[in-house]
Structure 1
Amino acid sequence: MAEPQEPLTIRLSDPGEVVAALPHLLGFRPRESLVLMSLRGSPGQRVGLTARVDLPPPEHRSQVVSGLVRSLLTDGPTAALLVVVSEATDEPATPDGWPDVLQPPPAEDLAHRDLVHEVVLALDAVDVPLRQALLVRRERWWSYDCPAACCAPEAGTPLPTGTSELAVASVVDGQVVEEERAALVRRIAPVGFLAAQAMSRACDEVGDALARRTTELGWDVLVEEGWAAVLAAVEAAGPGEHGGAGARLSDHEVARLAWGLRDHDLRDRALTLALGESAAAAEALWTELTRRSPAPLDAAPATLLAVSAWVRGGGALANVALERALRSEPSYTFAGLLRSALDACLAPAEMRRLIRQASAPLDTRW
């Protein structure tokens, strides 16, 4: 097994740099979103867990904020940073909403200040200091706690331009930033009708052939052949002159891989690919298998895709992939356990530990 690769630690000190990094932290460009970031270490300048929800309506605000704060607490933050992403217009200012009582409030105030206030109270109740509360809109950012002229609603600070350290790290890690969360869903959407029919026929043919060969050779031989097929496909999907070959897999090759991953031992071996140098290539392969495999054969690669995404911090893609797996096969135990783990915001480091444990000689099956 390849030695695990720890995710790159990126320290972001400037508020604008943090805001510009959101698409890379989330995997897509957030819109009308409430984002809460865990800050860790001393003095709390290392970004940890990043949790995002759609901006809630007033009647659901308390419930959504409470859930968001509970998620943040699983990361053991020393502080937090709040970002509201919204194109909402400014609101009439009130004296209570302006941070400096020595200055008269402006005619208008930043949007969603009531929501920010509720987050502040929720964090204060669990003794987590809020380092910054920012609003992002029109490629600019504002601080809710800044009374200076540059923070006035009609002003704002332009987002930094150029290629950031985090953007470079994301490219190295094989991450693709989508324009919206829906694009992540489309990335693994099932193939069209005609392609699906051909894929279904291939799965039936490969399944029949595997059944005959199992009778002749035994399942252990078939598992080893399946693992060899996985490794070959991952190598083909990696960088190089012929890299990214996952899309060129034939229907029968996809079917063979998908059938093989139904075996728990083979699937648990495949988990380890999320930890080594082939992680990006393996994620590309799981994406291709999820997209092309019919239900319920898509459940295993979709869950492997969720693990791969979560280990590198791609929570949005992990959730999208798990939704696909559980929709395909609601009783798939591995996906159900992972769903519970992600709902509890299991840290990527803990996920890596569990993968290593699952790949041990006396592993406990999911």
Structure 2
Amino acid sequence: MQRPPIPVIRLGGTGEVAAALPHLLGFRPAESVVLVSLRGPGGSQVGLTVRADLPPPGSAAALARALAARVVTDEPDAVLLAVVSEAPDRALPPVLPVGSGAVEAWPELPHRDVVHEVVLALDGRDVPVREALLVRGGRWWDYDCPYACCEPGAGTPVPAGASPLAAAAVAAGAVLAPDRAALAARIAPPDGPAAAAMAEACLSAGRVHAGRLRASGRAAVAAEASTLVVDAAAACRPGPATAGARLSDARVAEVLWALTLSEVRDRALGLALGDDAPAAEVLWTECTRRAPVPLDGPPATLLAVSAWLRGDGATANVALDRAMAADPDAPLPQLLADGLAACLPPAQLRALISETLAPDPRSAGAG
């Protein structure tokens, strides 16, 4: 059975979108430019969200073009642009009216150059910017609003409380991180005695794995290893039977060596499409966090797929960084990273995985 699609979330006013940015990204952005695809009646349906660090001076145009190219893959009716920055208001040069001295200039909101370039880049692709916001210090401003509430130094408080998007994210199992570094920290390897114990468990499991390959052959070992991985995922299912349980180092090591076989990785990839997808993501997270290099590459890749299918591009990116660091020459992590950078929708990734794992009808009856 396939997992249900990611629920459609419709946000209300501009302030609600500003409050939802961390949940759309999976972490609290800082010094960032964010584009949110808007679709549906009145542009109230949130689609793809893309983010980048605010660019250095002179680089706004290039960044704007790159972000525009990514967000238009979602075929938006419009885009909401948000600049998240704690930069102060920008003081303009004094104005010199005819026949008088210098007059104090009115300050303006920061990063207007970035906003300008993003609007131009999207206009070149026939996509309008519905609103352009600055989010700063718990308040938001509309760059185009002429009223006092959006004057520099004013702003409107970002709404507090749980939003529909926050509730949906929690229901889907998402955990909001304070920043992108915190996402990476969730799967960072241990150090000290924990790392030494895990390394010893992996050495022991590796010797056993190699012995089984010599004695029984790859096909037999792959079949046993696939069952081992499925059972380990089942042990990670939420519920009273597994509450407070933690996979032992020895069991994690067995899973890590099982995933070195491509046949086992293929079956493990299929877990992301079924009812055990949440449990599998827990298993990949635990294996990635505790695995020594280079055994962390396969579970990190599987974690990226699970997160991506759940709509969590931020976690998927972090996991792919880990996978490519473990094995820079591994083709699948790089292909996935290219797809994620091109904003391949989770539904298309799901279809590609299903097609890849489907049995070849030409082989039916062969043997």
Relative to the length of structure 2, the TM-score reads 0.90
Amino acid at match of 1:212: G
Deviation at 1:106, TM superposition (A): 8.2
* 2:69 match: 70
Q: Is 1:309 aligned with 2:307?
A: yes
Q: Deviations over 1:17-57 (max 9, x none)?
A: 11111111111001111001111234322111111111111
> 8 Å contact 1:271–1:304 — kept in the other structure?
yes
Q: 1:154-193 to 2 correspondence within 5 Å?
A: 154-193=153-192
Distance 2:228 2:93 in 1: 65
* 1:101 match: none
* 1:54 match: 53
* 1:326 match: 324
Amino acid at match of 2:85: S
> 8 Å contact 1:5–1:275 — kept in the other structure?
no
> 8 Å contact 1:16–1:159 — kept in the other structure?
yes
Q: 1:77-116 to 2 correspondence within 5 Å?
A: 77-92=76-91, 107-116=106-115
Amino acid at match of 2:191: G
> 8 Å contact 2:11–2:164 — kept in the other structure?
no
SS at the partner of 1:118?
A: helix
* 2:365 match: none
Deviation at 1:245, TM superposition (A): 5.6
* 1:100 match: none
Q: Is 1:251 aligned with 2:249?
A: yes
Q: Is 1:342 aligned with 2:340?
A: yes
Unaligned runs of 5+ residues in structure 2 are 95-103, 362-367
Q: Evaluate the alpha carbon distance shift between residue 289 and residue 107 of structure 1 in structure 2; reply closer, same or farther with a 3 A threshold.
A: same
**Identical positions, percent:** 53
Q: 1:291-310 to 2 correspondence within 5 Å?
A: 291-310=289-308
Deviation at 1:87, TM superposition (A): 1.0
Distance 2:105 2:271 in 1: 55
> 8 Å contact 2:12–2:44 — kept in the other structure?
yes
Does 275-284 or 308-317 show the bigger shift? 275-284
SS at the partner of 1:91?
A: coil
Q: Deviations over 1:288-346 (max 9, x none)?
A: 10111112111000011111111112111111111111111111121121122112221
Deviation at 1:212, TM superposition (A): 2.2
Q: Evaluate the alpha carbon distance shift between residue 191 and residue 362 of structure 1 in structure 2; reply closer, same or farther with a 3 A threshold.
A: farther
Distance 1:242 1:288 in 2: 18
Counterpart of 1:280 (choices 278, 283, 287) is: 278
Distance 1:133 1:236 in 2: 47
Q: Is 1:232 aligned with 2:231?
A: yes
Amino acid at match of 1:108: P
Counterpart of 1:262 (choices 260, 263, 279) is: 260
> 8 Å contact 1:38–1:77 — kept in the other structure?
yes
Distance 1:279 1:94 in 2: 57
Distance 2:83 2:187 in 1: 28
SS at the partner of 2:264?
A: helix
Deviation at 1:244, TM superposition (A): 5.7
SS at the partner of 1:87?
A: coil
Does 170-179 or 219-228 show the bigger shift? 219-228
Rg larger for: 2
Distance 1:362 1:265 in 2: 15
Distance 1:259 1:127 in 2: 50
Distance 1:277 1:160 in 2: 35
Does 141-150 or 277-286 show the bigger shift? 277-286
Q: Evaluate the alpha carbon distance shift between residue 167 and residue 321 of structure 1 in structure 2; reply closer, same or farther with a 3 A threshold.
A: same
Distance 1:361 1:245 in 2: 38
Does 205-214 or 9-18 show the bigger shift? 205-214
* 1:14 match: 13
Does 196-205 or 123-132 show the bigger shift? 196-205
Distance 1:94 1:53 in 2: 29
Q: CA RMSD in A?
A: 2.0
